Structure 1
């Protein structure tokens, strides 16, 4: 399965109107619990801020949608 996103792109969870805007950090390895195989091209580590707290979580790329606007969280 090809990678859909690049680090630095803005994404949000599909179908959630109140989902936070998140920045893609990198693809992360996930181990399949049934087959024990390693998947390096499907899960993305994303970062976002909520009430001043930095949140970090991995999401399956098919659950995310790319946002048109770009730009990092750390604008100067």
Structure 2
């Protein structure tokens, strides 16, 4: 499966009206809990901030949609 994003891209969850604006950090490997198969090139680690607190989570790339703005959380 081809990669849809690159580090620094802004994304949000598909189909959610209220979703945090998140930044792609990197693609990561996830192990399937049932078959113990490693899945590559499909999961991304995202980061966002809520009231100054850093949050992060791993999502499958198909659950995310790219926002027009890019450039990282620290862009001025």
Residue 43 (structure 2) aligns with:
43
**TM-score, normalised via structure 1 length:** 0.93
In structure 1, stretches of 5+ residues that fail to align are none
**TM-score, normalised via structure 2 length:** 0.93
Residue 30 (structure 2) aligns with:
30
1:14 to 2:19 alignment: no
Structure 1 moving runs of 4+ over 4 Å: none
3-state SS of the aligned residue for 1:62?
A: helix
In structure 2, stretches of 5+ residues that fail to align are none
| Larger strand share, 1 or 2 | 2
> How many correspondences in the alignment?
76
